[in-house]
Structure 1
Amino acid sequence: MSETLPATVTAPLSNAQKTQILNLVRRAAKAEILPRFRNLGSHQIDQKSGPQDLVTEADKAAEAMIARGLQIMFPHALIVGEEHASDNPDVIKDIAGAELCFTIDPVDGTWNYANGLTVFGVMVAILRYGQPVFGLLYDPVMNDVIMADHTSPAEMVLPRRIRREVKVSDGGDIADLTGSVPLYLLPEDKREQAAVTLTKFQRCTMFRCACHEFRLLVQGNIDFVLFGKMTPWDQPAGVAVLRQAGGYAAMLDGSDYRGDMTEGYLLCAPNKETWDKLRDVFAFLLETSEETAIAAE
């Protein structure tokens, strides 16, 4: 398992509070996300940084509802939602100093959602001074969730309150691994080499949805995930759950992961031994363009 948190970091939530947050997310999905799914008009979908980076009315409405509910439950918490932070990026600078911070990805996998694919989810995380200590990975279509705080095992909660503990895979040799790599999010000068690298694995794909990539990883259905774009709403919830499912997460350069990071590559694996093997495979991503050119000669 990855590095332990300081002993001064206590359990962030009671079981009753976890249930309250889950119920809030479920209500937001029922009221704002699912009714709009496959019912969006072109005027309800906008681009942010480009055609692959979308936002819909569902993202904005669900985030507003979840943020409002969390603020009522936790009046002194810092609330950082993806859509609010996209318009007010300076709020990210407050995360490191916040004793209690919630990050929200109201519709993770917006491209999938906007194009009628069911691979989308809702993610909520709690950060203490930048450290993820609670994660919630919710699937609105199936109405189930995988969640954990740093003191409890990761578990899936199914409808009718059925609970099931989840565990990562055993990892293994590179040729036997399956994983997810976001080729289109990597620097242009690295994509060709990255594409060739993917042939080393048994299978490699991407789902355009960090929520479901983490859900697959913590259930042992895939062996690794590499993230090429860092945000406070895409990774913290998944890392919190991964650690409690027995997995290992660290930045590709070996440094510790923090939930307020906005640069670098996050590599998630079932254990440190497998992580080390994967790090060696993807180390070329850390090379400068000049170093890459010399290596190719």
Structure 2
Amino acid sequence: MIEFALKTAEKAGRVAMRHFRRKMKTAFKSKQDILTIADTEAEKLVIREIHRRFPNHGILAEETGEHNPKSDYLWVVDPVDGTVNYAAGLPFFSVSIALAYKKQPLLGVVYDPFHNEFIYAEKNRGSYLNGRRLRVGDERNLINCVVATDLGHKRSRLIARRIKNLIPVTRAVRILGSASLGLSYVAANRVQAYIHNDIQPWDAAAASVIIREAGGNLLNFSGKSWELYDRTAIASNQSLSKQLLEYVR
């Protein structure tokens, strides 16, 4: 199934790249959330591919919601994660595809089509970036770490306070604009931690497998292991994730 997910993500990525940095219409889903033709076309492609190969499986997709929700198998799809970046011409966005069984993610693919990077994992089979095995970093001191985050659509002074609190105790705090890539970058040790206070299943399902198979920790803000419908997330190694809980509660 991982090969299917990789090939489907690549096809969706081609759709995104076909429209990237070209004039296109955008629609507003909310004040700070937009929709482009790439979101719509890429999601249709992914859903079509899943229906063709796995007609009895369910799908949870960002733009069109649930399909066949009674199935134990659920594909969780974000066709363009980082749409605001994408629409602005910023090359930091991804295709995210995961498969869960009874709400437990089994495999995940996060594909960055601009840089042609496939980050992927299957449960009990490790995490990889274009075939190279991934492992989270072993840093234990926050002051040596780059911590990534995103604002999400549920914004408040609390988010600003959390970021403000992290700035003096870390090397840097970065707002990236694509949750699935930010989370996956923890597995690749490009950032040492990632936090999000309003995450969606399609943002984190694929990356959750990638992080855990790379030896990382993924928690919610209560300190419990992250589950598919949790709305908060902390990703890092075991030591740092416990420290970060103090700054997000």
**TM-score (ref. length: structure 1):** 0.78
AA paired with 2:143? A
* Unpaired runs of at least 5, structure 2: none
Which is greater in Rg?
1
Matched, 1:132 2:98: no
The corresponding residue for 2:127 is 154
The alpha-carbon distance between structure 1 residues 39 and 252, as it changes in their structure 2 partners (threshold 3 A), is: same
More strand by share: 2
Structure 1 contact 98–130 (Cα < 8 Å) conserved: no
1:236-256 CA deviation, whole Å, 9 max, x = no partner? Answer: 111111000010011110223
Identity across aligned pairs (percent)?
23
The corresponding residue for 1:267 is 234
The corresponding residue for 2:188 is 219
* Aligned mates of 2:150, 2:13 — CA distance in 1: 26
1:138, CA displacement in angstroms?
A: 0.4
Structure 1 contact 29–62 (Cα < 8 Å) conserved: yes
More off after superposition, 210-219 vs 103-112: 210-219
The corresponding residue for 2:16 is 33
* Aligned mates of 1:266, 1:58 — CA distance in 2: 27
The alpha-carbon distance between structure 1 residues 196 and 214, as it changes in their structure 2 partners (threshold 3 A), is: closer
Aligned pairs (5 A) from 1:1-297: 17-30=1-14, 32-41=15-24, 44-50=25-31, 52-85=32-65, 91=66, 94=69, 98-157=71-130, 163-183=131-151, 187-199=155-167, 200-261=169-230, 263=231, 265-271=232-238, 273-283=239-249
* Aligned mates of 1:26, 1:192 — CA distance in 2: 36
Structure 1 contact 21–70 (Cα < 8 Å) conserved: no
Give SS of 2:18's match: helix
Give SS of 1:29's match: helix
1:25, CA displacement in angstroms?
A: 2.0
AA paired with 1:117? L
The alpha-carbon distance between structure 1 residues 75 and 35, as it changes in their structure 2 partners (threshold 3 A), is: same
More helix by share: 1
1:118, CA displacement in angstroms?
A: 0.7
**TM-score (ref. length: structure 2):** 0.93
1:251-281 CA deviation, whole Å, 9 max, x = no partner? Answer: 11022322133x3x2111122x221111112
AA paired with 1:54? I
* Aligned mates of 1:210, 1:92 — CA distance in 2: 23
* Unpaired runs of at least 5, structure 1: 1-16, 86-90, 158-162, 284-297
